[in-house]
């Protein structure tokens, strides 16, 4: 079976795609897989690291503001469509999977024009523009939230949840390994801060301003800053002169990071929400306000409404986030209650369920 998986742009698209690929290979090791991404985007580095081949398209997105870059959009889209048609012709896929992001548009359209069945995986509670357009030709649409018939034909929808890497699901077995990996003290509480694969300025600046409060409270911090903020974070930690705070531009060992966390501060991207539900770590969510159609707030509220997470709005984070994190770490009963409700929302078989839907399209 030949399968193309297309999309990317952020970790929220890339890691579900890799999880689906891994599951397809587990079910049938003879499956041939090819990824198609956007040139210069994260997937061009993350996918080969996971052991898969990837081809980049020159496609770009349309910026919301009026810029010269938007004038190049139709040219790059046309080139991407031609390249996607070449890829489909040469690889001869039995099925094509789109996980959202710029590259999934040209590839799935090219596959559909060749009569190749397509499957869309929509991670968010509010469907992205690319997926809404592609739904017309898709044979199957796998979603993570109920009520997605507001965006897609109901007969095509399968409620599967978001696929998460298998190592994340085993986080509870990595507590001791995680403490050794990050060099943590067993007797101190630990806060994990993850702004997303590219960092989050509001979260980072809030943390930078409040680091001394964590040190004064004896709290250990494992802080993923993204590449753009790592130097500022390191300077702040050096000025503080405390070994309790550790900053990383990117954490590949997220199973160990979740394992050691007593509480988590995170954006509310679909992947983050799904991972938190599986590991059951109590969290404060700070939705990115510029996300399309404010879908991160909708993702967050799907947990908050079930008493499964706490919410601090982006505009309030600089004043409220540090205090909220310290209060949560000090309240064991609240953390336990959040964890219980959060785990009820996890879907540990999502990757397998989506892989089976892919195989059904071929059969």
The per-residue pLDDT for 102 is 79
The per-residue pLDDT for 164 is 87
275 is in an annotated binding site: yes
Q: Higher pLDDT residue, 66 or 341?
A: 341
The per-residue pLDDT for 55 is 96
Residue 259 to residue 177: CA distance in whole angstroms: 9
pLDDT at 62 over 70: no
10 is in an annotated binding site: yes
- What mean pLDDT do residues 173-184 have? 96
- Contact yes or no for 248/221 (Cβ under 8 A): no
- Contact yes or no for 245/223 (Cβ under 8 A): yes
Q: Which helix (H) or strand (E) holds 83?
A: helix 73-91
State the Cα angle at 246 between 241 and 252, rounded to 5°. 165
The per-residue pLDDT for 61 is 67
201 is in an annotated binding site: no
- What mean pLDDT do residues 207-212 have? 96
273 is in an annotated binding site: yes
> Which two structure tokens, joined as six digits, stand for 157?
């929808």
pLDDT at 65 over 80: no
Q: Which helix (H) or strand (E) holds 154?
A: none
Please state which of the ranges 76-80, 177-181, 230-234 shows the lowest mean pLDDT: 76-80
Residue 303 to residue 125: CA distance in whole angstroms: 12
178 is in an annotated binding site: no
The per-residue pLDDT for 322 is 98
Q: Report residue 166's pLDDT band, with 50, 70 and 90 as the boundaries.
A: confident
Q: Higher pLDDT residue, 67 or 136?
A: 136
pLDDT at 68 over 80: no
Walk me through the domains of the chain, giving residue ranges and CATH numbers: 2-162+348-362 (3.40.50.2000), 167-343 (3.40.50.2000)
pLDDT tens digit sequence for 296-326: 999 999 899 999 999 999 999 999 999 999 9
271 is in an annotated binding site: yes
Residue 33's φ and ψ, nearest 5 degrees, are -125, 140
- Contact yes or no for 270/347 (Cβ under 8 A): no
pLDDT at 66 over 70: no
Residue 223 to residue 220: CA distance in whole angstroms: 10
pLDDT at 184 over 90: yes
Q: Higher pLDDT residue, 168 or 4?
A: 4
Strands 118-122 vs 95-98: parallel, antiparallel or unpaired: parallel
Residue 157 to residue 220: CA distance in whole angstroms: 43
The per-residue pLDDT for 190 is 98
Residue 175 to residue 276: CA distance in whole angstroms: 16
- What mean pLDDT do residues 271-299 have? 91
The per-residue pLDDT for 125 is 83
pLDDT at 41 over 90: no
Burial 173-207 (b: 16+ CB within 10 A, else e): ebbeebbebbebeeeebbbbbbbbbbbbebbbebb
pLDDT at 63 over 80: no
Residue 151's φ and ψ, nearest 5 degrees, are -120, -25
168 is in an annotated binding site: no
The per-residue pLDDT for 130 is 83
Measured CA to CA in angstroms, residue 178 lies from 21, 182, 197, 222, 262 at distances of 26, 6, 20, 11, 12
Share of the chain above pLDDT 70, in %: 96
Q: Report residue 165's pLDDT band, with 50, 70 and 90 as the boundaries.
A: confident
pLDDT tens digit sequence for 213-228: 999 999 999 999 999 9
pLDDT tens digit sequence for 101-131: 878 999 999 999 999 999 999 988 888 888 8
Residue 361 to residue 363: CA distance in whole angstroms: 6
Query: Does residue 13 sit in helix, strand or coil?
Result: helix
11 is in an annotated binding site: yes
Q: Report residue 178's pLDDT band, with 50, 70 and 90 as the boundaries.
A: very high
85 is in an annotated binding site: no
Q: Report residue 188's pLDDT band, with 50, 70 and 90 as the boundaries.
A: very high
270 is in an annotated binding site: yes
Q: Which helix (H) or strand (E) holds 100?
A: none
With tokens 């336990």, the residue in question is: 336
The per-residue pLDDT for 11 is 76
Average pLDDT, the chain: 92
206 is in an annotated binding site: no
Residue 358 to residue 363: CA distance in whole angstroms: 9
pLDDT at 72 over 80: no
197 is in an annotated binding site: yes
The per-residue pLDDT for 70 is 66
């Amino acid at each position: 079976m030949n399968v193309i998986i297309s999309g990317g742009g952020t970790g929220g698209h890339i890691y579900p795609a890799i999880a689906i690929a891994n599951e397809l290979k587990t079910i049938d090791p003879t499956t041939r897989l090819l990824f198609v991404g956007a040139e210069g985007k994260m997937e061009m580095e993350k996918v080969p690291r996971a052991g898969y081949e990837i081809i980049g398209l020159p496609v770009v997105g349309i910026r919301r503001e009026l810029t010269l870059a938007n004038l190049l959009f139709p040219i790059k889209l046309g080139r991407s469509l031609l390249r996607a048609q070449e890829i489909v012709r040469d690889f001869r896929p039995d099925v094509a999977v789109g996980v959202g992001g710029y590259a999934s548009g040209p590839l799935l359209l090219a596959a559909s024009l060749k009569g190749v069945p397509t499957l869309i995986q929509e991670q968010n509670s509010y469907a992205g523009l690319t997926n809404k357009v592609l739904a017309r030709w898709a044979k199957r649409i796998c979603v993570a939230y109920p009520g997605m018939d507001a965006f897609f034909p109901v007969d095509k929808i399968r409620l599967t949840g978001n696929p998460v890497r298998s190592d994340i699901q085993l986080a509870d077995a990595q507590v001791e390994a995680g403490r050794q990996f990050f060099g943590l003290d067993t007797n101190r509480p630990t806060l994990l801060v993850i702004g997303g694969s590219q960092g989050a300025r509001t979260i980072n600046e809030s943390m930078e301003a409040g680091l001394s409060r964590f040190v004064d409270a004896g709290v250990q911090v494992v802080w993923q800053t993204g590449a753009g903020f790592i130097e500022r974070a390191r300077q702040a930690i050096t000025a503080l002169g405390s070994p309790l705070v550790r900053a990383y531009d990117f954490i590949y060992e997220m199973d160990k990071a979740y394992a050691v966390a007593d509480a988590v501060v995170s954006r509310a991207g679909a992947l983050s929400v799904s991972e938190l539900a599986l590991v059951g770590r109590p969290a404060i969510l700070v939705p990115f306000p510029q996300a399309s159609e404010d879908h991160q707030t909708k993702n967050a509220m799907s947990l908050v409404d079930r008493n499964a997470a706490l919410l601090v709005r982006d505009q309030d984070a600089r004043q409220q986030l540090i205090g909220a994190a310290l209060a949560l770490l000090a309240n064991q009963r609240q953390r336990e209650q959040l964890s219980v409700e959060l785990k009820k929302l996890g879907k540990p078989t999502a990757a397998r369920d989506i892989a089976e839907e892919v195989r059904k399209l071929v059969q």
